């Protein structure tokens, strides 16, 4: 009898938050630089609760959850599935805490220039280009390589 190890994936949520001026919320992570608010789903927490908690912890604001826009599958260790949503600012003043050292509102075109991490830049680009169908991407790190891209509800393609 062979015993196979059960797959262990971390669940992560992220959100592209826009304010009334259509500016994008970016937080500056102490290691990864500028990115959208995101973080791990805690045990016993659903995706929407985790999303609201992460935005609150990293930026100090409350949001309205919009559509699920993209799902990312990181297949290199440690593996993770990242659910990224769109959201709207509701209330609060920007007050970063935890892993984020700064938070600010920025125009979408400038946001892409500020994000230097390849994975985060790609994620932001996909979210900014959301057209109503969920984008699925599978990737590896070291080096960052896109393995599969599929629009759920549309045609599929393989990257590489």
CATH of the domain at 58: 3.90.79.10
Domain membership flag for residue 5: no
Taking 90 as the threshold, does the pLDDT of residue 4 lie above it?
no
Closest alpha carbon to 61 in 101, 107, 97: 97
Confidence category of residue 50, pLDDT binned at 50, 70, 90: very high
Domain membership flag for residue 1: no
Taking 80 as the threshold, does the pLDDT of residue 95 lie above it?
yes
pLDDT at 155: 44
Tell me how many domains the chain contains. Answer: 1
Domain membership flag for residue 113: yes
Domain membership flag for residue 21: yes
Domain membership flag for residue 119: yes
Distances (CA, A) of 149 to 42, 65, 155: 27, 24, 10
Domain around 14:
10-155
Q: Which tens digits make up the pLDDT trace of 106-140?
A: 999 899 999 999 999 999 999 999 999 999 999 99
Query: How far apart are the C-alpha atoms of 85 and 127, rounded to whole Å?
Result: 8
Domain membership flag for residue 160: no
Domain membership flag for residue 141: yes
CB–CB of 27/102 below 8 Å?
yes
């Amino acid at each position: 009898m062979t015993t196979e190890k059960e797959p262990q994936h971390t669940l992560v949520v992220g959100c592209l938050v826009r304010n009334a001026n259509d500016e994008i919320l970016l937080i500056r992570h102490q290691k990864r630089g500028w990115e959208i608010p995101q973080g791990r789903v805690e045990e016993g927490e659903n995706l929407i609760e985790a999303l609201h908690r992460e935005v609150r912890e990293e930026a100090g604001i409350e949001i309205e959850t919009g559509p699920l826009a993209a799902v990312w599958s990181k297949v290199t260790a440690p593996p993770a599935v990242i659910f990224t949503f769109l959201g709207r600012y509701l209330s609060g003043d920007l007050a970063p805490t935890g892993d984020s050292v700064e938070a600010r509102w920025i125009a979408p075109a400038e946001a892409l220039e500020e994000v230097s991490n390849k994975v985060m830049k790609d994620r932001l680009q996909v979210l900014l280009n959301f057209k109503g169908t969920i984008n699925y991407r599978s990737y590896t790190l070291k080096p960052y390589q896109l393995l599969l891209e599929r629009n759920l509800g549309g045609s599929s393609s393989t990257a590489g």
